[in-house]
Amino acid sequence: MNPAKSLITLLVFSLSASAFYLPGAAPHNYRQGEKIELYVNTLTPILSANDDAKLKSLINYDYYNPKFHFCQPEDGPQARPEGLGSILFGDRIFNSPYDIKMLQDNATCKTLCVIDAVPPEDAKFINDRIREDYALNWLVDGLPAAEMKVDSGNEELFFDMGFNLGNDDTPNSEHRPTLNNHYEIVLRYHKFSETEYRIVGVLVWPFSIGGPQTESSTCETDSLPLYLDENQTQAIRYTYRVTFNESDTPWATRWDNYLHIFDPRIHWFSLINSIFIAVFLCVMVSMILYRSISRDISRYNAIDMSEDVQEDWGWKLVHGEVFRTPQNPMLLSIMAGNGVQLSAMVAVTLVFALLGFLSPSNRGSLATVMMICWSFFGSIGGYTSSRVYASLGGLDKRKNSFLTATLLPTFVFSIVFLLNLCLLIAGSSGAVPFGTLLLIIVLWYGVSAPLSAIGAYFGSKHGAIQHPVRVNQIPRQIPPVPKYLRPWSAALISGILPFGVAFIELYFVMSSLFASRAYYAFGFLALTSGVMGLTTATVSILFTYFMLCAEEYRWHWRAFLVGGGNAFWLFIYGIFYWASRLSLDSFSSVALYMGYLFLLVLLDFLVTGTIGFLASYWAVRKLYSSIRID
């Protein structure tokens, strides 16, 4: 097979399989009777199964939040050490009192504990969480406990991570939520050798068992459900039953059932849509530019040869202005530097994800890789910022290098800090702990900032980019430009195309960010991002060209705005997503959503704006170095 063909096969494979990953940790072989630890993670709100369901909260709660009254281990819950990314993404993992031993007590009903007195106000708290569709998240041998569900699209079985705290959907005579206090746990194991077994699947079916909540173990799942009374103190009994079920799934593919992609056709459709837009755009633009520019150039040069009186028109008129220092070159170069840093981070993270390094069994690896990349690419950011600054004619190099290293991190950090306060007030465990905040500060100001300063040093050593034409002493008058070339309308119009490329894939990204839906279609995401970057660059170049033709030479900021235009649409889409998929009832959830949306929009604006600005810069240099000026 020729290399191109095999590359395409590989690409298609990694796209359609998408469950392509490297198994993170080494497998654990259990012997018969060996203890299997069950770890508990935070409770998260989930989108319930029906299609018009809305997410009702964005706040996570610790499993051992005293209001839930879950059974605790004898010597108190102990936190498991976790990675940075895992903590940032809201994981808080503790041990649990479940007594599970490999292939022992198969299908035996056990009582975990009886909670004697749940006060009415806590019963109300639990009922409220059930109404908000909270789910329990357990981990066994690194695998999340899941409910088995059927994809209504293609009838495939898949594992849906997490299972409901209670039930509020099924209409019952009481019109009250029921609490799940019995868990049917099915551990799927694979026989590795005569004496060793590996866990390859963890399924949980939660049930609500009413009646007297006393010690005696009955796991009759068809009895009346348990309602929590919000008027009086009551007891809750927690029971469970573990069933071991042999499976042919080998350890290496045990994640396949979890990494289910709902309706992969939508992703394909999205990809084809974006490629179609991009190809259409590129062909159109290159045709326009090629024809008009080559005509312009030959005309200019011909005139220069034959006539003494030089007659200029179009973009050549402003050749003495295009490289004039724009307003506020400091801010522009800082934004470009940070934009390049972010773009590099996104690109490298996507490559890592594509190569399967971000194994789902290695929780939070995505966030960790992003943080580390961001820190190390401080050098690229500093370098770019200082060179752009020098090219724009800026003089205060030290201030530039200092602000590049600190401005964005401080801004982002302040917002995260405020959101954290919101979470703390709401009593959520999603708040980032103090130690982690400290670690982030150390990463940003201890690693990223010095690297940025080093980058800035090399950048200023390489100095300004040479411009093909000189700047006139006296600025030209700018004639009135058409409405569609005014900065804000240009940004809004031009943002539609890159946004149109990405918006279907964006829906899945939003769902995974806000509705804790797992997202594993990294192949699609990487291609879509690439196409979006290309579209952004093309659109910015096109608008810059139109602007110069209209003798509006202040293109620097406009190119940035035009490139970042899709961020406005992203914001509008975020509001639309809120209206259609979320029904947040608490102020903290709303603040959280708006805060994260704002950060997302800001980062998107910086990345795409920088792409637009740098692409236009490149094009303007090319354009003006192709003509002769006397």
**Interface residues toward ligand NAG, by CB under 6 A:** 103, 106-107, 186, 229, 231, 243-245
Q: Phi and psi dihedrals of 260, rounded to 5?
A: -80, 130
* Dist CA 517 CA 211 (whole Å): 35
Shortest Å, Cβ 186 to ligand NAG: 4
Nearer to ligand NAG, 210 or 480 (CB): 210
Q: What is the DSSP letter of 232?
A: S
Nearer to ligand NAG, 197 or 383 (CB): 197
* Dist CA 464 CA 393 (whole Å): 8
Asked if 486 and 562 touch (Cβ cutoff 8 Å), the reply is: no
Give the max Cα distance, the chain. Answer: 107
Nearer to ligand NAG, 48 or 243 (CB): 243
* Dist CA 37 CA 102 (whole Å): 10
Nearer to ligand NAG, 234 or 292 (CB): 234
Torsion-angle region of 18 (φ positive above 0: left; ψ -120 to 50: alpha; else: beta): left
Interaxial angle between packed helices 449-462 and 397-425, expressed in degrees from 0 to 180 and rounded to the nearest 10? 150
Nearer to ligand NAG, 161 or 278 (CB): 161
Nearer to ligand NAG, 105 or 304 (CB): 105
Shortest Å, Cβ 232 to ligand NAG: 7
Residue 196 CB-density burial (10 A; 0-12 exposed, 13-18 middle, 19+ buried): middle
627: tokens are 């003509």
Shortest Å, Cβ 498 to ligand NAG: 47
Q: Phi and psi dihedrals of 296, rounded to 5?
A: -55, -50
* Dist CA 570 CA 598 (whole Å): 10
Shortest Å, Cβ 231 to ligand NAG: 4
Q: CA angle at residue 200 from 195 to 201, to 5 degrees?
A: 130
Shortest Å, Cβ 189 to ligand NAG: 8
Shortest Å, Cβ 174 to ligand NAG: 8
111: tokens are 């009582």
Nearer to ligand NAG, 199 or 559 (CB): 199
Shortest Å, Cβ 611 to ligand NAG: 50
SS3 524: helix
SS3 71: coil
Shortest Å, Cβ 130 to ligand NAG: 16
Q: Which of 570, 598, 564, 616 is nearest to 338 (CA)?
A: 564
Nearer to ligand NAG, 106 or 625 (CB): 106
